[in-house]
Each structure stands twice: as C-alpha cells, then as structure tokens.
Structure 1
Amino acid sequence: MKYSLMAASIIFGLSGVAVAAPYKLTELPISDIGKMNYVTDANESGEAIGRVTGLYNLPVDISYIDFQDSSITNYYDTYKAILENRDETITFTLDDIQNGNALATDAEAHTFMLSYLSSSTQSASAEFQKISSVAGLEFTGTSVNLIDLFDIESPDYAGLTRSVSNAMTAIAADGTVAGWGSAPFKKITFTPEGESEAKTYFIRDWHARGIVISPGGKRVTLEPEFTEYGGYSIATDITLTDEGNYLVVGQASVGLPENSQTTITDNCDDKDEPEAVCIWRQGRGVYDLRAYQWTLDKDFNVIETKNLGIGLERKDDEDNPFYSSAFAVNKAGIAVGKSRIRVDDSLKAYEEPGYYQNGQFFTLREHDVFDQAGNAVDINDSNVIAGYVGKQYQGSLFEVAGFYYDMSNKTLVEIPSYFSGSDTYVRDINNAGYIVGQGETEKNVSNPRSEAFMYKLGDEKLTNINDLLPCQSDEFPYTVAEAIRITDDNTIYAVATKTVTKLDSFGNPDKDSNGNEASESVTVPVVLTKTGSTELEQCVAPETETYERQSASLSWLSLLALPLLWVRRRRQK
C-alpha cells in the first residue's frame, strides 16, 4: 500500500512504534467443497456454525433429458453466443454432454448444465432435476465439519442428492444446534391421464422441517402443528434456559385456509400430474403459518409446543393465508419477529415487527404509513429488541433503518446509518448493549457495497468495523461485509470478502481464454477479537493518496475493557 508523505509522517510520529488496531481478525476454517463460506451463529464459548454455498462437483443427472428439445438447444445457442461476444470459443457440444464424457471432464459443460437446470423455466418445472448448492457447517477449532440435515444417498448417482436446503441457524450455550432443511427430491415416472407415455417428475414429501441436533449428535425433528400435504416448519433460534430446557422458535404450518384448500382440491387431483408436484408448486404460501415455539427437556424430548400467535384475527369473508414469524427468543421466553396486523379494522393486512408474550403479538410502533414494514431479529436478556424497518414494495424492503426497542419504556429508536439513504440491517444485540449488522457504504451503483458496523445503544453514529482492523494490504486482504453475532465480551463473528484465485465448478483453478489464471472475490467466515488497543491505524486509499482514518482514542471503545456489571448475562444461543 502506498502512503502519502503526510500520512507517513503521522504514522512514524506515534511514539516511534506501530499502532495496533483495536481488533484482530482470524479466519475460521473453510470447507473445500464450495466457493462461499459463511458463519451464521456462535455461542459465548466460541462454538460456531455456518454454511457453504457454490458447491463444487454438483451431480447432474441427464438420463431423462431430451437433448433435441428446443428448450435446451435454444439455451445452448444463447450460451454460445454470449461466449462469442466475449471473444471466447465454446469447448463442448450438446452431443459431448449426452454421449460423451464432457460433464465429468469439461468444467464449462458442467457449468452450462447447472445454469440450464437453475434457469427460471426449468427450476419452476417438476420435470427437471432440482439442485441446491448449500451445505451446513460446524466449526471445530482448526477444522470444519459438514452437516447435511435431511439429504439422502441418491439412487441415480454417487453421493447425496444435493437437492435440499441446509440452514444452520442458531447454537445454544452448550453447543446444541437448531436449523431447518427441506426434504430430498426423488425421481419418479408418472403417466398423465389420457397419455400413453410416462414422464419423469421430481417430487418431495414436504417443504421444510425444523431440527435440533444435540452435542452428542442426537437429531430431533420439530414437527409442525399441521402436516397435511407435507406441512412446513423451520427453527430460527435456540436458547438454553437456567432450568436446563431448550426454547426453540421459528415458524410452523397450523392449518389450511379455505382458498388454499379449494385450490388444492380443484387442481391437485393426481390426474394430469402427480399430486405431490401440484402441492410443491403451491409452495409454503398455501398454509396458515404462525410463529411457533418448541420446548425440549435436557434429554431432548419435545415437552411442549406452542403457537405464539398473530397480530390479527381472520374475518368471516377472509379465506387467504396469514402468517407470523419468530426469529429469536431470550431466556425469559420472550420471542421476537414479525406478523401481519390490521389497522383501523380494514381488510388490508400489514406486516410489522414485534414480540410475542402470553399468546399475543405486540407491535413496536404505530402503523401510520401503508407500506411500512420491518423485522425484529434479536432480543437480549434485558428485553431490548433489535431489528430493522423500511418501506415494502412487492415483497422487498427499501429505505431500511436499524432500530432498538426497550420493552421497559416501550420506546423504538432508529439507529444512525453510514449516510442518508444507506440501508442498514441489524443482525444481533448482546447484553452489553452493542448491536452489529451491515450498512450500505455505496448506493446507486450496479452492485451496492455494504460493510459491517458496530453500534452502542445511545451513540450518535455507527462505527465501521473495518476501521477497527489493520489497514487493507496484500498481507491483510479482508473487507468485513456483514457482522453476524456479537458476544457479551464484544467478540464479533462476521463474514468478510477477499480476492483469491478463481476456481471452476470442479474446484480447479479457472483460466481465461489466454490460459491465464483468473481471480474472484469470495466470502469467508471470520472472528474478530479485541487487542486491547483503542487507537485506529492510519490507512491510505492508494487511488486517492489520502488517509481515511483518524488516529484518536475511541470514546466508547475504551469501555470495552471494563467489566459491564450493570447488565445481565445475555442469552447464549
């Protein structure tokens, strides 16, 4: 990294020694089966879980594909044209895939087939293989273990089907893990009524199931209240109580409203297609979904299930599904999330963040703008809730702001952002009153840039976590994009990006048309620990020849070394 003379004079004038950054970054172990690695939660003991995506060597079944069909020939022609526009030559033909060994030897052919199967037309059709490029991770010191929740060995090719979701969402104080996954797809043949030839279909038994995995490996599936047509349940958080029980929250199907039942009855008759295909096409949105809690005892027996409620009552003329969701729970059993609510007795249902207590959902603010929405994502043991709010359009949020809400004074406070208009997403709050998440540092560009932040309740501004780390250089290539978890001693688990040698779909170095190795940005899981310093390093952006950070003590950072005795111990997920 280049330094200006002014910056250099400041750096070398600091007591004649290098300034240590307030935080040290350590990369957690990564899996070599995929490109992108993430951490999703950690407990106070340093046990962590995550996921890996962009899996290498994904299995592709071509035994049922008609390679003369226009859908794949047109897709091939388009793919070839794209390469030619980049002055590249395609290395395979469809015949090489169908009758040759291209899928096993040519990464470009393998990538093409994965792209074809994941395109909107094929992914929406039950007549094509379903591939999910994600596996769960358990970080264990210097290594990482793969966790596949509900997948099975494929009867059609070697290894797992790789057709399932694997979401490792939370870890308790003793290492017990909660998460959720989908059922594996299986290939069947079915002859539609009135036709003479059988067709190939890919079906599964249910949409999703929550799961708890004990430190000893015992697995407990969290069944939904309503299981007809498969049902749906997910687990998003787990807390070990002082009594030794486990509180697990998430979402579960509790029924089927009239309109959904009519749709299934009228369309899913097992005549034109298998009933399971029709059910899959409806998606989880056919169910009435509720924020849900499962209580397990110390032996991992489910001893209680509870529908946590919803923020409205269905009217007589309302036949569509309604939902509520829970995303976190503290030791007192207060769960937080979001729910549909009703305003002024209107038929319109809105979405608001809130908390669940005694079978009721309580919102955190007045709903006075029709498109306002949000989500409560965490609650500490002092009953301070954290989350984000924004405006909703076609299911997406924009103009997003982070917030915290103290249940003792029933006050919602929006936290600062990096700049006016910067979307700010909160991910976690600890018992010491620190919040972490991510905020936009660049907007109105093709790929908006976000960086991780830390925020102390009551402060006037966010702190960019990258400002607490060593200056970026060849020796320190990281940018921390999202802070996921902050423990009570302010250790931070996060996701960082760095540039590495690009790998192809087989996991081998990828080369451009000239035979040169390419590079790419990947995500890696990291843990950030305090060094004891309260000084910021002087950093210079090479392209601007100016330094960006000021060498000054952080007024709040110096407090991190002090015992925070006034707060109760935070829940250990």
Structure 2
Amino acid sequence: MTRTKLFALSALTLALTSNTAQAAVYEISELASNEQGVQSVSVAIGEQGGVVSQVQFPFNPPIDIELLDLENNEALREQLNDPDAVAQGNISDEDLVILYNVLSGSDSPLTQKLGEVQSYIGDANGATEVTGFDQASTAFDGLTRSVNTLVYDINALGNAVGTGTAPYYKVNYTNDEGEQLTYLVRDFNQRGFVYLNDQVLPLLPPEDTLGGRSAARGIADNLWVAGSVSTEAPETLAGQVSNCEDPEERGDQPVELCLQSVRNANSSNFQMRAALWKISNDGQIESLETFPLAFEPDEDSTTTFNSQANDVNSQGVGVGTAQNRVPHLNDRIRTMPAVFIDGQTNSLLLDKEDYTSGMAAGINDNGLVTGYGVRFVNGFERSKFFVYDINSETLTFPDDFFPGSSSLPRDINNNNVIVGDGEVDTVTGNGAVRRRNGFIYDHDSGSFQNLNDLIACDAPYTIVQANGINDNGEIAATAVVEKPKRNIAGEIEQDEQGNDIIESTVIAVKLNPVPGGDIEDCSDSEEKFERQAGGLSWLLLGMLGLIGWRRYRG
C-alpha cells in the first residue's frame, strides 16, 4: 500500500515511551463480513478505515435444482431428509448441508460448481461485496455464485485490486448414445481486475490463449497496479486446442468441455512475468509494462519460469518475486525477492549466503521494501523478515520473536511501520504446526512487539496475523476466538444435549488505536495467559494459507 505520510510516531512508539498503564494500545472490532461465511480473514486496510476481508465457505449457497436430477439420482435421494421438497425448491437447512457436501466434493463437469471465497470491503457496521467476474444466474435469482473472488489490496480512495475466476455456464450436449447431458464450463481460470468506481476492470494478459492468466496484487493511490500476466503459452497448447476444435480428435464431448480440460491441464505451464499497469481515473488502462527474468535461461530450455509483482508505490516501483540463479547454491534457480524498476528485475539476497529463497511483500513511498528470506536455523528452514532501503541500498534483518521463529511481513505503511506474523512456539516436531501471533515493527525506532500484548488483557481474541496497516495506525488483522459452530446454512450446531457447539474460529478484525492508550499489565490476568498460551485449534490456523495471503498467491 502507498499513501501520504500523516505523522511520524506510530501508536507502538507512543506506547513504549509512555509510563502509565490505563488502557490498551488497541481496541478490537469484529467485521460485519464475518457473518457472511464459515470463516474469514482480513487482507488489507485503506486510509479511510475500510478493511478488505476474504470469506471462505459463504453461507446459504444457491442450489440449481435442475442439475440435481433427483428423478434419476437414487443415491442422492437416499441421503436427503426430504427429497421431494428439495425437488420443489424447498430446501431445509439439514438438506442444504447435505447438498453442499455432495456438490463441493464432486469433480464431475456435470455437477453444479460453487465458489468457496467471496471478498468484502467494510468495517464493523457493514460490508460491501466485490463480486468480481460473477454474472446473473439463469437458474435462480441473483448471481451464479460459481466464482472465487479474492481482493488483495485497497488504496486511499477505496479502489481495490484482486483476482477472480470466470463464472460457470451450462452447455447442453447429446452424446453418441442419445443421452442429453448438461456440462458446466467456464472461459478462464484466473484473471486480475481493478475495482474502480463500483465497476470491475479486467486486466487481460498479452498471451490470452484459452483466457491466459493474470493476477493483481497491489495498488497505489495514483492507480499503479502490481501483478503478473501470461506472456507465452506452452509449445504444445496450440496443437491441443486444434484437436479440441476437430470433431474427429476430441471424441464424444462438447468442444467447450474439451477446451476446459486443456486449460486446466496447462494452467501452470504459461510463462508468467511481473507486470505493472497504470490506470486512469476513468478506468482506462494507460499502460502495461512486463519485466524480464532476472537471468538468461539456457537457449534450449523449455522450463516454465515465473515472476510476480506483489506491491507498487506511487513512483511506479514494484516489488515481488523472480526466479534467479543463486551463486552460493551452485547457480541453482530459486525464487528470490525482487524489485521491478526502470524496466529491470533486480534480485535481493543473492549475496547473502545463508539465504536460499524469499519474497518481497510490500513497498512504501519512502522506498522501503519489506519481505522475507529463507535460511536454515538449527537444521530447519525458517523465514526471517527484512527491510531493504532502495535509496541507500541497505538491507537489515530485524530481531523477531526469537532466533528460530519464522516471521512473515504482510504490509508496510508510509510511517515505516511493518505488520505481519511469526512463530511464538520454540518447540517443533512430529509435523506440528507452531503457533503464530501477529506483530508490529517500527523500523525507525527498532521496536518489535507482539500485538497480543497491545490489546486488553480480557480480550477473548488471539491475533494470529496482522495483514495490513494504514498511516493512521489502524490494522487489519486475523484473530482466533471461541464461537458457536455454524454450518453452511449459517445455523448454530448443537450437540445431543441441545447445547451450542463451541469451537475455535478464524475471523477478520480491525485494531483501532486508543488515544492515550498504553500497554496493560496482565501479570495477574489468568485470562490473558490462557488466551495466548493454549486452548486453540492450531490445525485451523494452517487453513489460513488457503485464503489469507495478502498478494502472495499465484
């Protein structure tokens, strides 16, 4: 994120220099979008305080009754409580749960497709959905709800960027045996977009065979957009497309289904390059610049190489990842942090012999870049976050929770304050997931702090990720809290005794600085100890990687 600098001292710095303890540094508010699905994570925050959140497993998905074929699907009828009511469109909460599990567990192109992730912009008082590339449904009122829409960043004016899938549509087909079948297909798998003036502007890639691929990860206030695009298709793709268009070659299937199979098989085989777009205020693409690889591949190489811009500042300098040959690894090719500037791709950490890979996550208008590098600590690979100053070409690795902790930065504001998360457990083994807590780091003062130490002692939350910070010091975070368990119908589940089932739930929250706030003394607070030390489902935290990475996903 890139914004105008508002003040020099962060809330963290003020807290650490105060001598009295009267109120916590931050108060927590839950986002309204948490009521839209089973779990949610925050992703970014704008200068006006609006938080981007991604909601996984949205409540009450619409069901296309025609595609269920209940007259002939005896196995499904036996699973339902009231199949006749379902056939009439009267679906109970119990049967909705059954239908959702059946549909989400099927890979058949004859089965209705339901999206798993929706994105919202809002706060505790309300949220606006960004529906991406979804379209009105012909089977029921509303949208198809067959897309995944992941918004990753928002600027000071409320403009956002993200990546989405195409909606599925029906293709009717009569096979060689005379069966009438309805297939579900879509036109592309991944496309970046800009959400501007309540409209979605698609970001098309230069190589768009079968839709190609593009992604948008970061946006500056002056509408520079960072992401990646497909620049070259696999050599065999043209022949496969030609076979689909030939009735003799494609077999007994519609051409749309054949092309979809080819698209899915080749989705990861496109050459992807970091890209920066410049967008006009009225929603026009003024320019698109793609960046070369940081090294020269062998002339006869057929390997797919990738780079991606994760963020961009108002000067049009992008940061992200790019593959490169690493000298201290015998020139093996690894993914390294990268800066995209003046048409060049410049890798970081190549001269740091301890580091084997990494990523640049964010850049501010002061030219400070934050990211992480991976190195071995006590025989285990650990990610350690860094700060790189483009102007002075200096690189520092701040101290985090402890030497063996893996730490990941998520965002940096124009006050040079970084937020992210890191491991707080010192013990690992047997494949266990080490607990993570959100952190805040003030680069100017060198202050590093666990965000759980800056909220009230009796707060029922554990901050496990800090995903975004604006120049007002407001933080978009992800927390774990004990809540009643809800099913896909949004109903609270109960045990055999009729009691609500309570579980650890991942939710999106906003941390609001408290004027005059200070770190509370929780030495006598048993609740504080229990909240930070145990009682949480850390397996659930492993799911955060599915939707919670700010700008990182490919």
TM-score by length of 1: 0.78
Is 2:278 the partner of 1:295? yes
Alignment correspondent of 2:229: 252
Alignment correspondent of 1:487: 470
Q: Kindly indicate whether the alpha-carbon contact (under 8 Å) linking 2:64 and 2:139 is maintained by their aligned counterparts in 1.
A: yes
Alignment correspondent of 2:191: 209
Alignment correspondent of 1:456: 442
51, 56, 76: which one aligns with 1:53:
56
222, 226, 243: which one aligns with 2:207:
226
Q: Report which of the two structures shows the higher radius of gyration computed on alpha carbons.
A: 1
> In the TM superposition, what is the alpha-carbon distance from 1:99 to its structure 2 partner?
4.2
176, 190, 197: which one aligns with 2:173:
190
Q: Kindly indicate whether the alpha-carbon contact (under 8 Å) linking 1:353 and 1:374 is maintained by their aligned counterparts in 2.
A: yes
Q: Kindly indicate whether the alpha-carbon contact (under 8 Å) linking 1:42 and 1:171 is maintained by their aligned counterparts in 2.
A: yes
94, 97, 114: which one aligns with 2:79:
94
Q: Kindly indicate whether the alpha-carbon contact (under 8 Å) linking 1:354 and 1:364 is maintained by their aligned counterparts in 2.
A: yes
The amino acid that maps onto 1:26 is S
Alignment correspondent of 1:569: none
> In the TM superposition, what is the alpha-carbon distance from 1:363 to its structure 2 partner?
0.7
Alpha-carbon spacing, 1:277–1:198, altered in 2? closer, same or farther (3 Å): farther
> In the TM superposition, what is the alpha-carbon distance from 1:177 to its structure 2 partner?
1.8
Which segment is superposed worse, 536-545 or 162-171? 536-545
Deviations 1:77-111 (A, max 9, x none): xxxxxxxxxxxxxxx94254654539955544433
> In the TM superposition, what is the alpha-carbon distance from 1:459 to its structure 2 partner?
6.6
Partner Cα separation in structure 1 for residue 157 and residue 410 of structure 2: 22
Q: Structure 1: which 5+ runs fail to align?
A: 1-14, 77-91, 550-573
Alignment correspondent of 2:537: none
Partner Cα separation in structure 2 for residue 196 and residue 501 of structure 1: 50
Partner Cα separation in structure 1 for residue 530 and residue 117 of structure 2: 41
The amino acid that maps onto 1:494 is A
The amino acid that maps onto 2:343 is G
Partner Cα separation in structure 2 for residue 300 and residue 67 of structure 1: 46
Partner Cα separation in structure 2 for residue 251 and residue 264 of structure 1: 24
Alpha-carbon spacing, 1:321–1:200, altered in 2? closer, same or farther (3 Å): farther
Which segment is superposed worse, 353-362 or 51-60? 51-60
Q: Kindly indicate whether the alpha-carbon contact (under 8 Å) linking 2:21 and 2:520 is maintained by their aligned counterparts in 1.
A: no
Aligned with 1:275: secondary structure? Answer: helix
Deviations 1:467-512 (A, max 9, x none): 011103xxx3222221111223433221222222222221122111
The amino acid that maps onto 1:317 is D
Partner Cα separation in structure 2 for residue 240 and residue 112 of structure 1: 45
Mapping for residues 244-393 of structure 1, pairs under 5 Å: 246-261=223-238, 270-273=250-253, 274-343=257-326, 349-366=333-350, 372-390=356-374
> In the TM superposition, what is the alpha-carbon distance from 1:38 to its structure 2 partner?
3.2
Alignment correspondent of 2:14: none
Partner Cα separation in structure 2 for residue 104 and residue 416 of structure 1: 58
The amino acid that maps onto 2:251 is K
Aligned with 2:210: secondary structure? Answer: helix
Aligned with 1:201: secondary structure? Answer: strand
Which segment is superposed worse, 267-276 or 347-356? 267-276
> In the TM superposition, what is the alpha-carbon distance from 1:239 to its structure 2 partner?
0.9
Which segment is superposed worse, 43-52 or 290-299? 43-52
Aligned with 1:240: secondary structure? Answer: coil
Q: Structure 2: which 5+ runs fail to align?
A: 1-18, 534-554
Partner Cα separation in structure 1 for residue 524 and residue 71 of structure 2: 57
Which segment is superposed worse, 476-485 or 321-330? 476-485
Deviations 1:437-488 (A, max 9, x none): 011223637553221101122777731011011103xxx3222221111223
Q: Kindly indicate whether the alpha-carbon contact (under 8 Å) linking 1:213 and 1:220 is maintained by their aligned counterparts in 2.
A: yes
> In the TM superposition, what is the alpha-carbon distance from 1:37 to its structure 2 partner?
3.3
Partner Cα separation in structure 2 for residue 461 and residue 401 of structure 1: 16
Q: Kindly indicate whether the alpha-carbon contact (under 8 Å) linking 2:457 and 2:527 is maintained by their aligned counterparts in 1.
A: no
Partner Cα separation in structure 2 for residue 67 and residue 459 of structure 1: 66
Partner Cα separation in structure 2 for residue 458 and residue 221 of structure 1: 39
For the aligned residues, what is the CA RMSD?
3.5
Alpha-carbon spacing, 1:281–1:370, altered in 2? closer, same or farther (3 Å): farther
Alignment correspondent of 1:110: 96
Alignment correspondent of 2:516: 532
- Relative contact order: is structure 1 or structure 2 higher (C-alpha 8 Å, sep ≥ 6)? 2
Alignment correspondent of 2:143: 160
Alpha-carbon spacing, 1:545–1:171, altered in 2? closer, same or farther (3 Å): closer
Aligned residues: 500
Alpha-carbon spacing, 1:25–1:63, altered in 2? closer, same or farther (3 Å): same
403, 407, 410: which one aligns with 2:386:
403
Partner Cα separation in structure 1 for residue 294 and residue 145 of structure 2: 37
> In the TM superposition, what is the alpha-carbon distance from 1:308 to its structure 2 partner?
2.5
* Percentage identity across paired residues of the two chains: 27
Is 2:406 the partner of 1:423? yes
> In the TM superposition, what is the alpha-carbon distance from 1:204 to its structure 2 partner?
0.4
Aligned with 1:309: secondary structure? Answer: coil
Deviations 1:193-229 (A, max 9, x none): x654344322101122222222x42432222112221
Aligned with 2:55: secondary structure? Answer: strand
Alignment correspondent of 2:36: 33
The amino acid that maps onto 1:355 is V
Q: Kindly indicate whether the alpha-carbon contact (under 8 Å) linking 1:203 and 1:276 is maintained by their aligned counterparts in 2.
A: no
Q: Kindly indicate whether the alpha-carbon contact (under 8 Å) linking 2:28 and 2:509 is maintained by their aligned counterparts in 1.
A: no
The amino acid that maps onto 2:341 is Q
Aligned with 1:50: secondary structure? Answer: strand
Q: Kindly indicate whether the alpha-carbon contact (under 8 Å) linking 2:33 and 2:53 is maintained by their aligned counterparts in 1.
A: no
The amino acid that maps onto 1:224 is P
Partner Cα separation in structure 1 for residue 82 and residue 250 of structure 2: 34
TM-score by length of 2: 0.80
